[in-house]
Chains A and B, each alone.
Chain A
Amino acid sequence: MSTTEARPPGDSDLFAQVQASPEFVELRRKLRRFIFPMSVAFLVWYLLYVLLAAYEPEFMSIKLSGDLTVGLLIGVLQFVSTFVITTIYVRYANKNLDPAAEQIRERMEGSDR
C-alpha cells in the first residue's frame, strides 16, 4: 500500500469513514483554526506595508535614528514577523497536529495489512 496506482477496492470507503470520524474532524479543526486566521493576519500586515509604501511615502521616510527610516523599520519587521510565524507554526504543528495525524495514519495502515 505504498503507491497510488495499486488502490484496492473499498479503500475509498475507508477514507470516507475516517473523514467522518471525530478524531479526523478534530484534526481538521485544529489545522484550519491555525492556518486560516494566521494567513489572513500575515497577508493583511503585508498589504498594509505595500499600501503604506505606495500611498504614504512621507510617513515611511520619517527618520528615526540617523538615516534609518520608518519604512526600513517596517520592512525589517516584515522579516521578523515571517520568522516568528514560522516558528510558532512549527511548534503548533509538532504539538497539536503531528501526533493526531500519525495516530489516524497508523490506524488506517494497520487495517490494510
Chain B
Amino acid sequence: MSSGLYAAETVGKPGLNIGIFLVFVLITLVIVFWVGRSNRTAADYYAAGRAFTGTQNGVAISGDYLSAASFLGIAGAISTVGYDGFLYSIGFLVAWLVALLLVAELLRNTGKFTMGDVLSFRMRQRPVRAAAAVSTLVVSFFYLLAQMAGAGGLISLLLGIEDNKSTFFDGQSLVIAVVGILMVVYVLVGGMKGTTWVQIIKATLLLIGAAVMTVWVLGKFGFNLSDVLAKAVQNSPKSGEKILGPGLQYGKTATSKIDFVSLGLALVLGTAGLPHILMRFYTVPSAKEARRSVVWAIWLIGIFYLFTLVLGYGAAALVGPATILAAPGGANSAAPLLAYQLGGEILLGLVSAIAFATILAVVAGLTITASASFAHDVYASVLKRGNTAPDSEVRVARRTALVVGVVAIIGGILANGQNIAFLVALAFAVAASANLPTLLYSLFWKRFNTTGALYSIYGGLAASVLLIIFSPAVSGSATSMIKSANFHWFPLSNPGLVSIPLSFILGVVGTLVGGREAGAERGYAEMEVRSLTGAGSERAEAVVPH
C-alpha cells in the first residue's frame, strides 16, 4: 500500500464528490416539494396521512435507522478494532425484536402522533406528556449531535476542509450549517410525507451501495470470507489475529469488560425507545401494516449489517487499519477509503454522496420527531390544555423545526470530531433508560400509574445523562470530549447497565408511592382493548369516518 496515495489532504476529486451530492439533493428536493403540496392536516404533517404501506414504511424505517453510525461508524470500528465492532451490528439488529414483539403494533393501536399519546392514555395527561416530550427532545438531541458530527468528519475527508481548532466557525462548520439548513427545508416543505420519501430513496441507495461494495470485496478474494479475514490479519500488524476475536477494544480491564456488557444492554433495549422510530409506526394505516413494516425493516437492516461485517474486514484487508486511522476523519473514513480502493473516484463520490444522504435523511427524521413532540405534547396539551386549532399546532411544529435546526447546527459544530457510533450508543442508553420501561409498563401492567411513569422517565433520564457527564466519555481520558479536564467518577463510558435497571425499579417504586388513581381501571380497560384489537385506532386519512 503506497502511503503517498493518502498523504494528500483529500481523497478523490472534491468537485466530483460535491457534484454527485448536489444531484441527490436536487432530486430529493423536487420530490419533497411535489409530495409536500398535499400536506393539509396535522395528520398529514406528522404522520403522512397514515397512508404509507407497511413495505414503504419498512424501507423508510431502515432509512431512519441505518444512520451514519451504522455505515461509517460500524465499518470503521470493525476495520480498526475487529470483532468488538461487530457487537454494534448485532445489538442494533436484535433490538428490533423488542420493537416487533412488544411495542410496534400495540403502540400503533393506541397512539396518534407521539410517544406522549400512548403514555397519557390512562394517566394524567399534562405531567406525563411533558415528561415524554422532555425525554424525546433529549434523546433526539444526542442522536442529532452524532449525525452532525459525522457530517463534519466526512467533509474533512472528501473536500479537504480541515477542522480549524482556533476558530469556532471554520469550513467544516459551514458544511454542518448547510446540512442543518437543508434538513429544515425538507421538514418544513415536505412534512412527514416528504421526509419519508427521502428515507426511502436514501435506504435504497445505501443498501445498493453496500451490496455492490460487499460483492466487490468478496469477489477480490474468490468469494471466500476466510481469505478476506486472513488478509485483514496480515494487514493489521499491531493487533494480528486478535481482530478475529473479541476483546481488542473492551477486553483490557475488568472495567472495560463491564462497559462492553453495558453497551450491549443499551443497544438491545434502546431501539424500541427511540422517538423517531416510534413515530414511524403512525405513518401506516393499521397495526398489521406496522408489523409488516418491522418485518421489512428487520430483513433490510439485518442484511445491511451482514454487509458491514464484510466491509469492515474488507477495509482492513484492502486499505489497512494504519492508513484508515491516519486519514482525516479517522475510523469513520474506512468505508469511503474502501470505496476509493475498489472503484476509484467515481465509487468514492457515489458512496460519499450516499453517506451524506444518510446523515441528511436521519437528521430530517429526528427534526420532525422533536418538533412534533414539542407542538403536540407541550404546546397543544400542556400549555394550551388541548384548546388549539390543529392549524396552529402545525404552525408551532414548523417553528420548532427551525429552532431544532439551529440547535443542531450549533451542537454539531461543538461535537465535531467525536466518534459517531459511540455518540449514537449514548442516545440509545438514554432512550432505553427514559422511554422503554414506561412504554412497557403502560402497555402491559395494569397498576402502573402517573407517579410511576414520572419516576421512571425523569429518573431514567437524569441517571443516564448525569452518568454520561461524569463518565470517562466526557472527561479524564485520552478519548474524552473534554481532554483538558478530569471530573469523572463513574467508571463506565456507557451508563446503560446502571440507568436502565434503575428506571425499571423507579417505575415500580413510583407506582407504589402514587397509589390508585380515579378512573385508572377504565382507562386501562380501554387501552388494553384498543391496543390488542385496534378498535377505535387512528385510521388512514383517505378513509371517510363513519
Contacts and interface: CB of A to CB of B under 8 A. Distances in A.
Interface of A: 1-4, 11-13, 15-16, 18-19, 24, 27-28, 31, 34-35, 38-39, 42-43, 46-47, 49-51, 53-55, 57-58, 60-61, 63, 65-69, 71-72, 75-76, 78-79, 82-83, 85-86, 89-90, 93, 98, 101-102, 104-105, 108-109, 113
A76 to B, nearest CB: 8
Contacts of A72: 83, 86, 244
Contact of B244 (A28, A47, A51, A69): A69
Interface in B289-311: 291, 294-295, 298-299, 302, 305-306, 309
Interface stretch (B127-135, B194-202, B479-487, B524-532): B524-532
A91 B295 CA distance: 12
Contacts of A43: 268
Contacts of A4: 112, 536, 538
B525 A67 contact: no
A61 B525 contact: no
Contacts of B112: 4
A57 B245 contact: yes
Contacts, number: 178
B502 interface: no
B311 to A, nearest CB: 15
Given A15-B522, A43-B268, A93-B291, A67 B226 contact: yes
A89 B101 contact: yes
A80 B138 CA distance: 34
A27 B532 contact: yes
Nearest to B94: A46
Interface residues of B, number: 66
Given A42-B94, A101-B532, A79 B302 contact: yes
A72 B279 CA distance: 34
18 contacts: A2-B536, A3-B538, A15-B522, A16-B525, A42-B94, A46-B94, A46-B268, A47-B265, A53-B246, A53-B260, A61-B242, A61-B246, A68-B229, A69-B244, A78-B93, A79-B90, A82-B96, A82-B298
A90 B94 CA distance: 16
Nearest to A59: B245
Contact of A82 (B302, B538, B543): B302
A50 B530 contact: no
A53 B93 CA distance: 17
Contact of A71 (B83, B98, B100, B225): B83
Nearest to A56: B246
B533 A105 contact: yes
A60 B361 CA distance: 37
B98 A60 contact: no
Nearest to B84: A53
Given A2-B545, A75-B86, A109 B98 contact: no
B100 A19 contact: no
A39 B268 CA distance: 12
Given A67-B229, A79-B93, A18 B529 contact: yes
A80 to B, nearest CB: 9
Interface string B503-546: 00000000000000000011101101110111110110001011
Interface string B95-109: 011101110000000
Contacts of A78: 90, 93-94
